[in-house]
Chain A
């Protein structure tokens, strides 16, 4: 077997469920209560911790989901322009799965200004813009 199986599992009794962030959360779709896409999970915001860490410091907790037009920063590096970040508090999360389901409808969540600008300025002005294709 590969070497890392020589290591054993930590003898810690886990109350809850272990989840690898990059594997099972990051880059997954975030959808609202009706299943409508709100964005892709670009990052998770954590509580800050001192540096260096004194022994016994409690681990940071996830405070909010972060999504927005920052995927390019993640790829090409560089700071995130804070203004563009859309944050959704963790308490809005309803279920973790193939997509991250939220408990609130999209209308109550921070949405991208591009989407609303294009909708109001362009789409609604074209005849049939509000008509659901039959």
Chain B
């Protein structure tokens, strides 16, 4: 995870990177989660790690229509950092400016080397998309030789999260610069999760570019965002043709209880 401020856009052209995830296509295979962990040098979970202490910068959640057998229908929501663009809750709470929004790209970057691990940002994030390094990063013997050289490791005791594979943007910019181009081309920079999705459920691009696929999808009828009502302006859009799926995004979590289900 590299400091979000070091490679600036060559021409200073403003981007606003975002993603649209077609949840009707997502099969919950988890390739994005693995690709993310491999790309970002996230260590395998220690023996004691659980779904509550593990680090999955991208996590696929299962949601359902709340019905019992046999009417139950499910949908999978890949949830990473939602890259909020309007007052990201995590940015203003960080006491030492370890979370910064890159104005050139709109990417909310975490600077783990400045993080002291107070975890206030984690409490602030409504998407639970921030993860704490509860353990030292450890790989089985030899496995660290296969780590991604573009991404530095995070130490124990700091928070990390998805940064849209910012190092890939840097690499793309470097490549563009080497080829004498001012700007990267569309599709030249995509995060690992998008790249790995076997059903192409994820579309990534510049939300400011009205010609881009991601813009078209984000503006389309079936697109929605999770917890849009909180006003944080997440830049990860979801897409579904099914109404009940779209309703999940804003559904009151307690609505299941009102129907008489038990907690947990």
Pairing of A with B? no
- Name B residues whose Cβ lies closer than 8 Å to a Cβ of A: none
